[in-house]
Chain A
Amino acid sequence: MNENMNLVSAGVAIARRNKRYVVWFYLLNLVFAHFGASAFSEAAHAVLDKSLYADKLLHGFNLGIFVELLARPEFGALSSATHPATMFAVVFFLASLVFMPGVLLGYASDHRLPRDEFFRACGRNVWRFVRLFIFFTVIAGIIGGILFGALNALVMAADKTSNERLPFFTQMAGTLIILLVLTVIRIWFDLAQTEVVLRDQPAVRKAIAAGFRKTRRNLGRLLGSYVVVAIVALAVLLGGIFLWHAIVPPSSVLGAFIIGQAMMLLLLATRFWQRATAVAFYVREMTEPVVEERIIPAFVAPVVS
């Protein structure tokens, strides 16, 4: 547990020292989401801006009227609002893929990483990260697919009983287990990415193998650290929603924006915290002295002449 906490604290220290990465990624996240919401926003302005009926959406949130808005022909098809949001989410994912090597290098560095080094690391590792992503997708896809298939079968079996709660709790427990398994895979690939960047390892498969070995040997420590941070993320999310509901008046657009964005920033920070934790672990692994087996010379009988 202490070791976990040390790792988590080390992650916090690294993430705090490099706050700018979180801020930049947050800004990217916000800007892309803003672009993604532009079609929705435009359609909403067109219908609502000069209508007194819109008041019911400002002073409260009437679900019926919101659905009525979405159903208006002049609002357009819902897909015209969801597609851009999805596209820009993919763009954010790609940006994360491209810039994450620089972040990892920055996290491992004991000084502020110059901009050119950051981008050099990004450029040098972009293709390696793409390949890692493909490997991750295949492995996580297969394992996740099998596990979700098994879970579905379990839930269907639970559904046949007259215990109404059983399918729900089976679903929840199963999902939790699958998330833990996927987290282990994520840790494995986080370490592989760290290996690729910090060792400048061009052989992606070797990095994956190294990541696997490290994850296997230190599974408890690493998983514990990641789970602690994930719990913090969940608390941020739930706490944020609670505060949004409890303290922000329904008509306060600014208040909702501030609390919503604070929540998004903190949520993003928790993921960077996990990455920093992985880097802290990796750096320690590299610097910890390796206790090698003492080589005991084989007994050699004196040569007697």
Chain B
Amino acid sequence: MQTFTTDIQQVRQLAWTLATASATDQLDVPGEYVWAFPADDRFDAIRARSRSIFSSGNSIKDPEVIEYIQGLHLAKHLLNPWIVEQFESEFPTWIANSKNYCLQNFDLFKYTGFSAGTQESFINFYLFNADRRFRVFRGDYWWHMDIWSRIRANWAYIEDDELRPGDICICSYPFALTGDKHQNFDWLVDQCNHLGIELLVDFIYLPNSMNAVNIDLSAECIQQITFSFSKTFPVQCAKIAVRMCKTKPQDPMQMSNDENICNRLSAGLAWDIIQQFPPDFNVKKYRDQQLYWCNKLKLQPTKVVHFGLGTDYTSYGRTDSVAWCSPFNQQQNRYNLGMLYENQNLLKNLHLY
């Protein structure tokens, strides 16, 4: 079995270089968030940014996709009352059109709803299950745990207590922390079926995955599934996601859909994107890059094309908390390689590629 001892020196050199390039506006593709821009090019600001270079689960900021999006005329979608419905009706066929994963009995999910990011779906899930105890595996999307803690919801890691009637579960697949099927996913489905517990499956990284997902969605416990666009395409702040359900939900999000008041700009953007790019666009384009960088940095390639696994480089020499943004964000071993892919020209010029 191949072992991986992360080349921390090289990782840190790249992190510092990209962080500095970010401050001096020398990246091929600039960041998409305020926090991606160091306040200045001073040591402290660059150091802080260097520690988040490989964090986040967001998409590769592919220049081809960015150029396409920038050329779109989105405002026209505001005048189209059918655009959300159009996107919702075409999304299932689009997402299913990949040989990299297998969604058995996908057609059981007859109700497709536009979601303002998966967070809207999650909030509705929390709201409609407020009397239950929420359960997740350690390492899943930190936002769940953070929000549950803030709203004082009843929750526990699955590892910390047995599943009980009255619980309700969420699990990402591929799993957020590892980019692969969670080792206890099948067990979780069996337990949930046995105990009558609902399980929301979050296909957050599905389009960017390769041979990680093979699931029979006819399982009784799986009543809703979610998909994110911002992990596949550089549309982070357009808040585009999809929720699919076996039965028609009766929650605020569905009401927005029924009322036809969903964000048409975002839905229109999503519709434009799926006309142009297949779901496996990134896998095809970046698989070689993933292998190159993982080999160079001694990372373990994951089944999600923009991730590698390795030693946490951000904890070196630090005594304070290394969790980024939230104490529940414990994903420092997962490297988002997107910045390396996007800034190929810069890195080549610097002889770091």
Say whether A associates with B: no
Residues of B participating in the A interface, judged by any CB pair closer than 8 Å: none
